[in-house]
Chains A and B, each alone.
Chain A
Amino acid sequence: MRRWVVLSTATALVGCNSTPLGYLEGSGSRSGDLLQSLAWGFLAIAVAVILIIAALIVAATQRARRRAARSAPDDVGREGGGVSAIYWGVGLSIPVLIAMAIWNFVSVQAVATPPHEPGLAVSVTGHRWWWEVDYQSAQPFGTLRTANELVIPTGVPVRLDLESADVIHDFWVPKLGPKMDMIPGRTNHSWIEADRPGTYRGQCAEFCGAEHGRMSFVVHAVPRAEFEAWLDHQRQPASTGGPAQEIFEAKCGACHEVRGTSAAGIFGPDLTHVGSRTTLAAAMMRNTPRNLALWLGDTQGIKPGAEMPQTKLDPVERAQLVGWLEALK
């Protein structure tokens, strides 16, 4: 329970953040810092170049209008002359370009490889339109299958094995580092390391069909001890049984898994601890009983095209199911 409180607090903090996907502020990692300063630096150079060129165009036009006023209407300039401006302009541009390229390659070097061996490997698989998360390493942390929210320990480089179950997706947490495609038939490797605890928003960045825009996720970075406790807790079943569990097993179990029950579907997200997550439907909305009831009541209206069909539930069943799912802490 305490852990969940921590995660909710972190989400509340992100709620204050005005641009959860922006990479110009609020970086949470060394890679993020590097890319943030690269973005600001290049932006400053770009704005300077644009202003200089704009000033040149205006100044040239003013000068040439004055000259036109002084000369005969049919006068035209000779062909030679002015070429030195090209040499000057290009000559001054090239060192700037070279400096930018060097800055780029230094950043590539630092961002592409982790500073030391990753201490944790997580496999993330993109599905239309949600994220399957598998904590792979049995040692030192233990394995776990979950969905749509990634919890990582701070200060530990995390290796990401990125795969896709269907079409190309892209794993992107702007405040933590580069994006990386998830391509069916191959495993792409990336890594993230959060230096500062917090909740960071992620988003699919490769067009993947109808609900591409609503395919988001969150990364919770927590201190290592808290992470280990979270992992331990998540590996335990959470269901308390009851009539709602039977409804779930009958109506949802073909696609969803809740460990400790007979619901063991693999087509949809694992829901063993869905009540402990901060968001619903691939981080489309906050996880509240009201939102969950809305989602179950009008799945296709809220997320048109989603693979989850509209499940027939009478209001009583739905309320029971919402209460049971929210209790899966």
Chain B
Amino acid sequence: MSTTFDRAAGLARGSPQEPVDASPPASLVPPAAGDKLKDIWEDSPGLRGWFGTVDHKRIGIRYLITAFVFLAIGGIEALAMRVQLAQADNHLLSPEQYNQLFSMHGVTMIFLYAMPILSGFSNYLWPLMLGSRDMAFPRLNALSFWLYVAAGLFLYVSFPLGAAPNDGWFNYVPNGSAEFDPGPNIDVYCLGMIFLGISTVVGAANFVVTLLRMRAPGMSLNRLPIIVWGTLTASVANLLAIPAVSLACLMLWFDRNLGTHFFEISGGGQPLLWQHLFWSFGHPWVYAVVLPAMGIVSDALPVHCRRPLVGYTLVAMATVTTMVVGFGVWLHHMFATGLPALALSFFSAASFAIAIPSAISVFSWIATIWTGRVRITVPFLFFASVILLFVIGGVSGVMTASLALDWELTDTYFIVAHLHYVLIGINLFAVVGAIYHWFPKMTGRMMSERVGRWVFGLMFGGFNLAFLPMHWLGLLGMPRRVYTYGPDMGFGVTNLIVTIGAFLFAVGIGLFFVSMLVARLAGRPAGPNPWDGPSLEWSVSSPPPPYNFAVIPLIASRHPLWESRLLEKGEPHSRLAEGYLLDEGKETLGVTPLDGEPDVILKMPGDSLLPLALSVALLPLFGGLLLELAWLGGIGALAVLVILILWFRPHEATRSEEKARVYG
């Protein structure tokens, strides 16, 4: 175990040129097979390969980078709002500018950052963690990414023109109807949400099928990493929830442009219908953007505590339970709408109850630290802080679950504070911790631990300075979504503190971005397993080869790389050096859904420009609908049709007989 010893010591000491983990990867690459597989799996050279790649690792990293770009944009919007609110009666921003800023801030952070960043991790990590060579539908994966970029551009194109969505991310009607908001603003929102919805649904379907089919033999359901449980749960939820909001947006677009009356009271429509459709999507979505992040903590925190997660089964069950109950709490966003108190009380009770599965995760994490052998690394600091921030967001959530108290709390800054503790506390802090944790795997280089402590201090201090006093503002009665407030309301000093905290937080995130860049260029080499982690992604080189695993591993436990230390004598070990060596073409193994038995050899598609082309073609289609230019929409529709025909044209017949070489 001398290599392990070197790894642990090397983190703190050691020369900056030496890899932290100097040992060879645990997964064997047979000498002859490596080059052959590389030829098969590598992207085409040049621009075609860059735009046409279907490699889940490249797509995952692109998701991460794009989501961070949107995080930065949404953050700058937030800072502009914080300057405006720093003092009473400020006139830096007009009400219209402020309303567009808070709407785009919400849309950006919730739709263009929080979910895509997690898709990035899942895309990158799933096949590596599950012992597969790619996602189930690599081209669909590329399509999902390009659609996300295109929809993001579409949502932002009206921003410089001053016609961005201005009715909040929740977009209540009739404030968003043609009568009260006649500009293109809300059409951008409706079409952009439908556009982005395609990306999310496509990605979610891919995750579900990947889980069912694309695992190493022996990777049964009770051995899945928790992030897989989290993303799987979130993906199933997305498949059920996204249609509600896409439909609502389509109906609103019809109301605004074709004269229908789904939400128009003049024609017998119901404004509250929008709220039901939106929140029956919106609340499950909140869980969809935190459950995978909680999975990140459940998988990565134990590595730094040097022990397996406490209560794996309970945490996996709690993940699923949270989502199921999460579908039954949407009315708690509508406590003040005048619905009967009895009906609301059921949703109030469900909202109290959803705290229980969350408590399971919290106590599991604390117990994991308590019974562990903690190394105070930067990822540990972030993951441990997630626990505290989650609890703060959780107890403020329990306060808002109370129907009676929520009649005061709702639509005040208390809710703003609560939702940021949930979304930043569980999503962003987990994400930054996860970058520190998996950056070495993605790039082969370590991020600076010393700078990382500054990043953590600035982010943790700045965040709490910004958002803890916000609870107080809400209790003082400051309403949400106001562009300014009077000097005699008693909000001034607290708002100034909040603004200072927001800027500190932003400096922390800026330093984090710089630190990533520096590490990418000149970080210390990592080696395959710098943290001495137990899961499969650490068994391959850093960064992993394009084919991930030369030999498809055979899994016998939840912690394949810790087996020599965890298993009793006589228990079967995972086999990382012998197994299926599929090198006859671009192939990987398909397994049976429940037990993970080898079932079929899957032919994987090569790189393709079609996903990018389809995403680009949708831009004129949606642009034509937005601008009411039939010719532009027509060109887009025609292009989409042609691309789809190309995509679905019959493939050459595959061989009926498959050969599978077993290595070892």
Contacts and interface: CB of A to CB of B under 8 A. Distances in A.
A22 B395 contact: no
A78 B372 CA distance: 9
Contacts of B391: 49-50, 53
Would you list the 6 A-B pairs with minimal beta carbon distance, nearest first?
Answer: A21-B477, A77-B307, A213-B482, A178-B407, A89-B363, A185-B265
B345 interface: yes
B588 interface: no
A301 B490 CA distance: 24
Contacts of A177: 407
Interface string A250-267: 000000000000000000
Given A57-B369, A108-B404, A74 B8 contact: yes
B310 A81 contact: yes
Given A86-B363, A86-B364, A179 B352 contact: no
Contacts of B271: 168, 183-185
Contact of A39 (B395, B401, B475): B475
B388 A53 contact: yes
Given A82-B370, A305-B96, A74 B352 contact: no
B636 interface: no
15 contacts: A39-B475, A46-B395, A60-B369, A73-B9, A74-B565, A86-B310, A105-B403, A167-B174, A168-B175, A179-B408, A188-B337, A207-B480, A211-B95, A213-B483, A284-B486
Interface string A186-214: 10111000000000000111111111111
Contacts of A64: 305, 369-374
Interface of B: 1, 4-5, 7-9, 94-96, 99, 167-168, 172, 174-175, 180-181, 265, 270-272, 305-308, 310-312, 314, 336-338, 341, 345, 348-349, 352-353, 355-356, 359-360, 362-364, 366-376, 384, 387-388, 391-392, 395-396, 398-399, 401-405, 407-412, 475-486, 488-490, 532, 534, 558-559, 562, 565-566
B341 A112 contact: yes
Nearest to A113: B341
A89 B362 contact: yes
Given A46-B395, A83-B367, A206 B270 contact: no
Given A21-B476, A53-B391, A60-B370, 13 more contacts: A42-B399, A45-B395, A57-B387, A60-B366, A82-B311, A97-B353, A104-B405, A167-B175, A180-B338, A183-B337, A185-B271, A207-B172, A209-B180
Contact of B477 (A23, A50, A208, A214): A23
A90 interface: yes
A67 B306 CA distance: 11
B272 A86 contact: no
B95 A213 contact: yes
B412 to A, nearest CB: 7
B404 A38 contact: yes
A59 B370 CA distance: 8
Given A50-B391, A179-B407, A185-B270, A86 B360 contact: yes
Contacts, number: 302
Interface in A8-53: 15, 18-24, 34-35, 38-39, 42-43, 45-46, 49-50, 53
Interface in A59-86: 59-61, 63-65, 67-68, 71-79, 81-83, 85-86
A56 interface: yes
A166 B477 CA distance: 25
A67 B479 contact: no
B175 A207 contact: yes
B348 A104 contact: yes
Interface centre among B95, B409, B485 (most CB of A within 10 A): B95
Contacts of B411: 170, 172, 179, 205-207
Contact of B314 (A18, A83, A205, A209): A83
Contacts of A38: 402, 404-405
Contacts of B95: 210-211, 213, 304-305
A17 B90 CA distance: 22
A57 B636 CA distance: 55
A97 B369 contact: no
A18 to B, nearest CB: 5
B535 to A, nearest CB: 13
Interface of A: 15, 18-24, 34-35, 38-39, 42-43, 45-46, 49-50, 53-54, 56-57, 59-61, 63-65, 67-68, 71-79, 81-83, 85-86, 88-90, 93-94, 97, 100-101, 103-105, 107-108, 111-112, 128, 162, 166-168, 170, 172, 174, 177-181, 183-186, 188-190, 203-214, 284, 304-305
A43 B488 contact: no
Nearest to B385: A57
A104 B350 CA distance: 13
Contacts of A71: 373
B405 A75 contact: no
A107 B335 CA distance: 14
B373 A50 contact: no
A279 to B, nearest CB: 11
A170 B172 CA distance: 13
Chain B contact residues, majority secondary structure = helix
Contact of A93 (B305, B356, B480, B482): B356
Nearest to B562: A76
A19 B366 contact: no
Contact of A49 (B7, B167, B356, B395): B395
Contacts of B349: 101
A328 B403 CA distance: 43
Contact of A82 (B352, B367, B399, B488): B367
Contact of B310 (A74, A85, A105): A85
A74 B566 contact: no
Nearest to A283: B486
A204 B479 contact: yes
A19 B371 contact: no
A74 B529 CA distance: 13
A120 B490 CA distance: 33
Contact of A23 (B96, B360, B370, B475): B475
Given A74-B5, A86-B311, A212 B384 contact: no
A183 B21 CA distance: 63
A205 B413 CA distance: 11
Contacts of A42: 398-399, 402, 405
B407 to A, nearest CB: 3
Contact of A20 (B348, B484, B490): B490
A111 B387 CA distance: 35
A163 to B, nearest CB: 11
A212 B374 CA distance: 50
B362 A53 contact: yes
B477 A104 contact: no
A184 B269 CA distance: 11
Contacts of A172: 411, 479
A215 B565 CA distance: 66
A240 B154 CA distance: 59
A111 to B, nearest CB: 6
Nearest to B370: A60
B631 to A, nearest CB: 34
Nearest to A48: B395
A168 B174 contact: yes
B404 A82 contact: no
Contact of B337 (A181, A208, A305): A181
A125 B308 CA distance: 60
